[in-house]
Chains A and B, each alone.
Chain A
Amino acid sequence: MAKDLVKALSDLKEQEVVKIVEERLKAKEDPLKILEDARKGMEVVGKRFASSEYFIPDLVYSGEILKSVTELVKPKLTKETETKKLGKVVLGTVAGDIHDIGKDIVVFMLDVNGFEVHDLGVDVPPQKFVEKIKETGAPIVGLSGFLTLAFDSMKQTVEAIKAAGLRDKVKVMIGGGQITDEVTRYTSADAYGKDAVAGVALAKKWAGVK
């Protein structure tokens, strides 16, 4: 029996992970099973981040390890993996702001917690949020921003969602370095998450997950 992939990945043992995956592929194991273990490992990483055992460097590193797992497994895949998702989230850094670190962490955490995340990137104009909400039917929207100018961009984005007749179909959360309850009121968002973990909690609440 090969060493435990879930454990090796969640403990961030890169070389061990690669070795295990190579051995399992050599043994002609179903690549989907390997990916499933990797997913479980990432879930543990997310939990450790939520309990402040892991921090951003650990998330970034786990993402890198996962990337090498996927690269090893991909050529052997015959069909796409289908995992059931908790719900869709449209997320991006608002217009005028190009900061991505905070947004990327939220994307990562939502992803490992089972959400289907549509990441629009940075400096996203309000209309692009609206289009993506329409296209995906996502009930949850996340607006990220680091600068004080983001307050206005967030406000305008919520207004654009409203003007498109979608405001009662989505819940909007905001987040970023200088965000407070005051900013939430100003932007007419539904709530703000003080960090990625709070963001996941909000998404779960809104998606009706316990």
Chain B
Amino acid sequence: MEKQWEEMSSDEKQEALFARWMSPKDPQGNDLKFQSPQAQKAYKERITRIKDAIQMKKLPDRVPVFVIPSFFPVYNAGFTPQEAMYDYDKCSMAFKKLVADFAPDAQIGAVAPGPARVYDILDYKLYSWPGHRVSPDQSYQANEGEYMKAYEYDALIDDPSNFFSSTYLPRVFGALEGFKMLPTLTSILEIYGVAFNFIPFGLPPVQATYKALFEAGAEALKWAGAIGACNMEINAAGFPGLWAGFTKAPFDVIGDTLRGTRGVMLDMYRQPDKLIKAMERLTPIMIKMGVGAAKMNGQPAVFIPLHKGADGFMSDEQFKKFYWPTLREVMMGLIAEGAVPNPAAEGKWTTRLEVMQDLPKGKTLWMIDQSDIAKTKKTVGAIGCLYGNVPSALLALGTPQEVKDYVKKCIDVAGKGGGYIVSNGAFFDHAKTENVKAMVEFAKEYGTYK
């Protein structure tokens, strides 16, 4: 009899998630029908290659290669970001073309552009998107702000869920104003807790908010149908999707989303204890978010975009005190449940490498941008699999020969003994097609382990 999830060790859980990734299902729960026996074979070979690179137990047949773009597939297909965000068919076409053009070992599906109509309906303020405060031919960008005030730490720590629904969400979504009037749901106790706590749901602003929610939900569902079908088609063509979902470093949850860069940096001085307490409070929530996605989608890798711990953003002492402890705890929580944390260290993290190597071996996957690749290999690369380091500027402005030379250097330095995957290092919008092609093809040609 098969072991129950709860009885498995973390190694067994990781194996189980890799096994599920290897045998994808369609939405009805049946085995996914591949386009051809060759596509199925290629799909399994690709996952085996990636798995060997991640687990670091044996050498893969060759160095795997990823293409991890931002809006590049959209430009590559001749569309604008606005078209891709409003027309789900065009978005699907763009991402299908990406795998057809480059045949990478893993891809990230067509979810990244997202459904702009949902953001329109909700009047989303945290981001500007093409046609809304940025021009139609540009990618969406974040609008940082103090969406949580300096004095609101206690409210967040006390009840994060309630803080999000009654305070944070109405601030970042204009259409969710009515949430401010909602009762705390845990007050709905006994028969006498019912009537009073349901009064707000009868108020016009709350009803307007729910109307917007229904509309946004219907649109999100439409998007999920179109994009889900597209992703399944990409899988069926033999290309596994890399990420089950995402989670974040607790410091970035506060610094990116709630307090903003300036806010969180002042808090490091003015209220460090509350900042740390809030991050500790968010840690299990971030673990649950990542693990939930891995288990639901049946695949191990969980994306963690790292932001405000990069070189220069704080001192090493501040990094060790504020950034790393709860990030490590999130990663350890994911690992315990068999997931493979995939922190994306965009920018430079060279000074953080020694601290960040304090993790078990063969359990993590790291996207590396401009960190020194040799030093990364010796530190974080000794315990985890690395991918990336091919610079955006080179892909946008260099020549195919320069790209090949760069990839050769990466493989020579980081590919030794396995645990390296060729890839771009930062999410990119603009690149020359021939350069991306050169990156993938040269990796396949030069990266074979003999």
Contacts and interface: CB of A to CB of B under 8 A. Distances in A.
B141 A151 contact: no
A178 B269 contact: no
B426 A177 contact: yes
B138 A178 contact: no
A183 interface: yes
Given A97-B141, A101-B261, A55 B269 contact: no
Contact of B312 (A14, A99, A123, A195): A195
A165 interface: no
Interface residues of B, number: 33
Interface in B375-409: 391-394, 396-398
Contacts of A96: 134-135, 138
Interface stretch (A1-9, A34-42, A56-64, A74-82): A56-64
B391 A180 contact: yes
B269 A179 contact: no
B318 interface: yes
Contacts of A14: 269-270
B429 A147 contact: yes
A206 interface: no
B143 interface: yes
Given A55-B315, A98-B128, A60 B391 contact: no
A182 interface: yes
B347 A55 contact: no
Contacts of A164: none
B134 A56 contact: no
Given A57-B268, A60-B266, A177-B347, A148 B396 contact: yes
Interface in A24-74: 54-58, 60-61, 64
B265 A98 contact: no
Given A148-B396, A178-B391, A60 B347 contact: no
A101 B265 CA distance: 12
B262 A60 contact: yes
Interface string B311-324: 01111001000000
A12 interface: yes
A55 B318 contact: yes
B164 interface: no
B431 interface: yes
Interface of A: 12, 14, 54-58, 60-61, 64, 96-99, 101, 123, 147-149, 151-152, 177-180, 182-183, 186, 195
20 contacts: A54-B315, A55-B312, A55-B314, A55-B318, A57-B266, A57-B315, A96-B134, A97-B141, A99-B141, A147-B141, A147-B429, A148-B393, A148-B428, A149-B429, A178-B391, A178-B426, A180-B391, A180-B393, A182-B393, A182-B394
7 shortest interchain CB distances as A-B pairs: A57-B265, A148-B430, A60-B265, A180-B393, A178-B392, A96-B138, A55-B315
